[in-house]
Structure 1
């Protein structure tokens, strides 16, 4: 790791420019994503290659913004050199001088490269069903409309390592470093930085805030905003079993099995051939929507030699679930967590325990619960609150009081309704491809 006290742009070697392809292509097909020779010798956050791309809402409606993709050097949870990509978006005329940088972590929640933001946000991207990052572009656009620069990293790396600990934070922070070092973006080393994400993107945001003090202390990170973060992946694994959303923990286990050899051994020992095919062959190619359809209401242990309550007591799973639970380190910046009390994906008790872990460690935590939403409706309903709170921190306004606030609905305030109206206006411009 290289810590730079002056303008970090001086650390960037001459990056290799790369023409944008005529049609969007994912990792594994598009040579832009290939790691150049010798990349491991560069510091974390080094821009290795860059290109301008055309981003589009749902892959079809071209957006009148400036979008640049940066391939950069980063590291895995094991400390191995890796490359990944961030898609950086500003107004067509560029960001406002002195404006902050926000890293938005999408809810990728899958392994397949066709689900990564670097692909699905491009014009011409073809997806199987609904793509969460494509829909989340509306929230990115709200930040861009304010004159900010927004980084949208592939925080699972090129292998889609969803659910692993710490690594999403490393990759997000190295994406921020890459933005600060890429001179055409006009950012300085002391640019104020915020991080924001929802659900699986909230989990990546949590890891980013947690590892930032030790991994990237030179970054001027000022706040983190999370909606319904996956606060205890092991608990969520059990919570979603035999529900409509069994496909999500299926994807999760498939990703972890590639990174934890003991987990793969556990599957080999306790799961039959049909079950191993799901985890090893099917799930790595599924989008979240495909996984949900394929696994709806199924029992993850249907092909195992024991029920789930016994499976999770196996030492291998207990160890892994303990390691991947966020909240083991303390963010040094204020954090906002928003959670539905009726969330069907992330248990309320897990989010509450997550907030409590941060508070006990000394983090200034504002924890807001909402009674009238569920996991999916809260994604949109909470965005104005998360965005407004983050804007206040980035623009230097006093932090809101720490502690828990329980509300029937977060919509019950004039300020929130006004922010929602502005977000709807941005969404309307995005839907028809008007400028921001």
Structure 2
């Protein structure tokens, strides 16, 4: 991902365009490696979950315009944060609250005109959190910021979601980040746990619905599991494990040249 591990800039976490381009650039980089069996005509499959699911979904949408040389045989997108406005609500107060800081840092870097808005709403605790999280990985953030509320970071005690609702410019930026507005290239498999309360199930499902309405070849899989614990990551991560075998088999079939049959017709029957 852009900026991940770099010292000259921050990681643009869950940025649709940066993430999608990074995935497609990775394909091109792999093809350029010497001594491999890869060829320009080699079939390409993408696999990603959570942040990765958003990145592969964005890559499938952007491939036709950004990387027409990359012909996608299939894309797996698991638990994609397709609608960041809804995802903010899921993350706030969860074990992954620190991800709000990563998102804010990335968008403040990519959209400098948001800085005055952030400065007007963040208190000293919020600014310190952004500074600290700019150098934290997921393990550190779980320990330092797990289950915190973003309302403790703001001058008036409102949550980040409430501030988003009151600021048209932030809404504009987040609307532009929404995945589902473009028809993806090639067949796609979208999987989402119905109990996912961190990257909310409904917004992931909506991405699949939007793609179906655009005539995309979509295989949608709702992962039905019991509630495994509110806001503690289990409802988000366990679907990855339970669906992994079927997801890999689906992608393997695409890489072997077998056709995918869309199940968009089943969307009204699936949660």
* TM-score range normalised by the length of the shorter chain: 0.7 to 0.9
Distance 1:168 1:243 in 2: 23
Please give the per-residue CA displacement for 1:364-399, whole angstroms capped at 9, x wherever unaligned: 111111221621111211111111001111112231
Of 163, 166, 175 in structure 2, the residue corresponding to residue 311 of structure 1 is 163
Provide the residue aligned with 1:113 in structure 2.
5
Provide the residue aligned with 2:134 in structure 1.
284
- Pick closer, same or farther for the CA change 1:303–1:218 going to 2, 3 Å: closer
The structure whose residues are more often helix, as a share, is 2
Of 238, 261, 264 in structure 2, the residue corresponding to residue 377 of structure 1 is 238
Distance 1:249 1:301 in 2: 12
- Pick closer, same or farther for the CA change 1:189–1:112 going to 2, 3 Å: closer
Distance 1:341 1:241 in 2: 19
Give TM-score, length-normalised by structure 2.
Answer: 0.87
Provide the residue aligned with 2:184 in structure 1.
331
Provide the residue aligned with 2:247 in structure 1.
386
Matches within 5 A, 1:334-413: 334-372=187-225, 374-403=235-264, 404=266
Q: Indicate the RMSD between aligned Cα atoms, in angstroms.
A: 2.3
Give TM-score, length-normalised by structure 1.
Answer: 0.55
8 A Cα contact 1:224 1:390, kept in partner = yes
Report the CA distance between 1:186 and its aligned residue.
Answer: 2.8
- Pick closer, same or farther for the CA change 1:287–1:177 going to 2, 3 Å: same
Provide the residue aligned with 2:230 in structure 1.
none
Matches within 5 A, 1:17-416: 113=5, 159-279=10-130, 281-306=131-156, 307-308=158-159, 309-313=161-165, 314-372=167-225, 374-403=235-264, 404=266
User: In structure 2, the residue corresponding to 1:286 is in which secondary structure?
Assistant: coil
Provide the residue aligned with 1:11 in structure 2.
none
Please give the per-residue CA displacement for 1:118-152, whole angstroms capped at 9, x wherever unaligned: xxxxxxxxxxxxxxxxxxxxxxxxxxxxxxxxxxx
Report the CA distance between 1:244 and its aligned residue.
Answer: 2.9
User: In structure 2, the residue corresponding to 1:183 is in which secondary structure?
Assistant: coil
The structure whose residues are more often strand, as a share, is 1
Distance 1:202 1:400 in 2: 21
8 A Cα contact 1:251 1:291, kept in partner = no
Q: How many residues are aligned here?
A: 257
Distance 1:239 1:375 in 2: 10
Report the CA distance between 1:112 and its aligned residue.
Answer: 5.8
8 A Cα contact 2:10 2:105, kept in partner = no
**Larger C-alpha radius of gyration, 1 or 2?**
1
Structure 1 stretches lacking a partner, 5+ long? 1-82, 85-110, 115-156, 409-436
Report the CA distance between 1:407 and its aligned residue.
Answer: 7.8
Structure 2 stretches lacking a partner, 5+ long? 227-234
Report the CA distance between 1:258 and its aligned residue.
Answer: 1.7
